[in-house]
Amino acid sequence: MSIYCALKVPEGCRALRLHHYRSHSGAKASPNLTFVPASLPPDALEVEALQRFFSHSQRLLVMTGAGISTESGIPDYRSEGVGLYARTDRRPIQHTEFLRSASARQRYWARNFVGWPQFSSHQPNAAHLALRNWEKLGKLHWLVTQNVDALHTKAGSQRVMELHGCTHRVLCLGCGEQTPRSELQKCFEVLNPTWTAEAHGMAPDGDVFLTEEQVHNFRVPACSRCGGILKPDVTFFGDTVSREKVDFVHKRLAESDSMLVAGSSLQVYSGYRFALAAHEKKLPIVIINIGPTRSDHFASMKLNSRCGELLPLIVLR
């Protein structure tokens, strides 16, 4: 299925990507609650307790999950009633399936091609902007996100580790060439000038629901440099986060004096391990998430509120 198409990485690709996203850093919009579970408004006493936690923190490490982006209109997997698992029997593509099956890659990229214009247009919400402001104040030591949507970077955050990668980059598995996802979209359009498909619902990683018949004639490019397989620069289910990233986060955690988990159930071990490490270091841990998490039993405080409603209430001093 691989079709060659010229794909070039501009010089300073990462810097260009950050510069482009900064143009959105002042964006403000009403929250989209379609994929947000029901929750009560923040309790005044809980807000006061969170304020004390924030005021006492000098080097705060924040880890975010899909629950921080649901208010931007991006669904998550596990939220009760509104997550992908609750609404459909759809499951994300597995790493080994993508590697071994050309038809699986064709199906993935066809769905991703249809969903990309909408997915890439999502903007940061109040929670992303609040964390950006914390960083500017010097209160946020580092931000570790499990999300692949680039919304923290769009908001203007700079001290960000994308633990699971980012859908806005494409990686060649043969030579390691990186390409902006927007450039691959143009290549798809050239290779499939008459191909059309109607989208039915969107998944958390940006692809949509299509039938096998719809994707049958979709053409997928290969790397122009080596002919290798192109894959989004993200950690698929069944794959592991690189040792370099894990070590980097552990070092930032060692430099921190507290930890905030925002919008994550911590069910995936790649994120849970850092909450566990913070607990072992006896750091105070606050969790903001609608619904239970894997670390509720050892958190200093757990708040069942919307991140976009609660985080902007913290007074910056």
Q: ∠ at Cα 172 (16, 15), nearest 5°?
A: 10
Instruction: Find out whether 267 and 294 touch, Cβ atoms under 8 Å.
Output: yes
What is the rounded CA–CA span in Å between residue 315 and residue 180? 37
Q: ∠ at Cα 301 (295, 305), nearest 5°?
A: 90
What is the rounded CA–CA span in Å between residue 15 and residue 276? 33
Instruction: Find out whether 35 and 202 touch, Cβ atoms under 8 Å.
Output: no
Residue 24 designated active-site:
no
Long-range contacts of 273-281 (CB under 8 A, 24+ apart): 273/246, 274/61, 274/63, 274/144, 274/249, 274/250, 275/63, 277/250, 277/253, 278/61, 278/253, 281/253, 281/254
Q: Per the residue annotation, which of 128, 141, 152, 164 is the catalytic one?
A: 164
CA 155 to chain centre: 13
Close Cβ partners of 22 (under 8 Å, ≥ 6 residues apart)? 156
What is the rounded CA–CA span in Å between residue 75 and residue 83? 6
The 10 Å Cβ neighbour count of residue 307 is 29
Instruction: Find out whether 260 and 61 touch, Cβ atoms under 8 Å.
Output: yes
Bridge-based pairing of strands 230-234 and 285-288 is unpaired
Alpha-carbon torsion 284, 290, 292, 294, what sign? negative
Buried b (16+ CB within 10 A) or exposed e, 259-273: bbbbbbbbebebbbe
Catalytic residues: 164
